[in-house]
Amino acid sequence: MSIAEFFHMGGYALYVWGSFGMMALLLLAEPIMVYQQRKSILQRLRRMARLNEAESS
Amino acid sequence: MKKGLIHWFKYASPASFYPLAGRIIPWAAVIAVLLFAVGLYMSLFVAPMDYKQGEGYRIIFIHVPAAWMSMFIYVVMVFWAIIGLAVNTRLSAMMAQALAPTGAMFTFLALWTGAFWGKPMWGTWWVWDARLTSELILLFLYIGYIALRGSIDDNRRADRASGILLLVGAVNIPIIHYSVKWWNTLHQGSSVSFQQGSSMSSIMLYGMLIMALACWAYTIAVVMVRVRSVILQREKDTKWVKNLAEIQS
């Protein structure tokens, strides 16, 4: 099987790659999003902690 | 009280579950990557061409696991909702909250890959068939759950209201499952069943099961990261969160 044949998928290229492509997109995007969410929450909590420290000292 | 019971109750508190979830993440992530590598290799290279659908049937390797996940995740959320409503544990509602976006994502993926499979095989992207319609309702239930949670400021009330929505929506799960039996649908019956086993070749079945396990490991990894964020947000005024190393630094 050649590379061109593989990507052609027996004429079903749009449908097969449209499906696998969407899965790849979603399963890469979601982990990035949850990590960004975690990062921003940690940043906010750190800022709050610093403010509290500044107030109490 | 038995020792095992104490152990479980210990992890029901967000403070002790938070580090446990952190330890689970790398393992689940590594297992997910390995299983996806094997599963994708099998579904794209090893599995032979289908005699009726040619190469187009390869969509099955993501469509079926995604559809399974969309229902499993909902059932797990219902489980957490019941526990949350019955014994009023904070963590169970947080688990349901963390699962919802991933469940919605898999539901969307099942519908999307279904459309991309239906077009070449049935000649249409979409029909108002019982299986497709009930799966679309599942997507609306996920979105409704997320929206309802977000619209109530008080977390405890949001837990209860959204938990009840989950219970009511649970009626849709058997409808999705039996839709291909109860109604004459364009969607085919299931190829894998508990009673009859599988009507597929074993290499296709294994490929699909490995993809399904990969989706499970992926879900565990992503949901553990998200539940940690939910815990931090909701417990931000507690002493244990303030003393966390990642916040002190």
The predicted-structure confidence for B193-208, as pLDDT tens digits, reads as follows 656 666 667 888 899 9
- From A18, A27, A45, residue closest to B116, measured CB to CB: A18
Q: What is the mean pLDDT of chain B?
A: 90
Out of A28-42, B81-95, B113-127, give the one with best mean pLDDT: A28-42
Query: What is the rounded CA–CA span in Å between residue B81 and residue B233?
Result: 20
> What average pLDDT does the segment B10-22 reach?
88
pLDDT at B189 over 90: no
Query: How far is it, in rounded angstroms, from Cα B166 to Cα B151?
Result: 16
Q: Which residues of B touch A41 (CB under 8 A)?
A: 229, 232-233
pLDDT, tens only, A1-43? 688 888 888 888 889 999 999 999 999 999 999 999 999 999 9
Name the residue among B56, B62, B236 with its Cβ closest to that of A45: B236
Q: What is the mean pLDDT of residues B234-238?
A: 91
Name the strand (E) or helix (H) holding B197.
strand B197-198
Query: CA dihedral defined by B54, B134, A23, B91, rounded to 10 degrees?
Result: -150
pLDDT band at B1 (very low <50, low <70, confident <90, very high): very low
- Helix B130-151 vs helix B155-169: angle between axes, to the nearest 10 degrees? 170
Search chain A and give the residue with CA nearest B245: A46
Q: Read off the pTM.
A: 0.92
- Average the pLDDT over B65-69 and give the result: 96
Place of tokens 């949850």: A34
Residue B5 confidence (pLDDT) = 61
pLDDT (0 to 100) of residue B247: 84
Give the pLDDT score at B190: 75
Is A55 a residue whose pLDDT tops 80? yes
Q: Are B218 and B72 in contact (CB under 8 A)?
A: no
User: Contact A20/B233, CB-based, under 8 Å?
Assistant: no
Give residue-wise pLDDT tens across range B135-169.
999 999 999 999 999 999 999 999 999 999 999 99
Residues 6+ apart with CB under 8 A from B25: B221, B224, B225
Distance from CA of A25 to the nearest CA of B (A): 10
The two tokens of residue B95 are 């688990």
Calculate the alpha carbon distances from B235 to B7, B20, B192, B241, B243 in Å: 22, 16, 43, 7, 12
Nearest Cβ partner for B59 among A16, A34, A37: A16
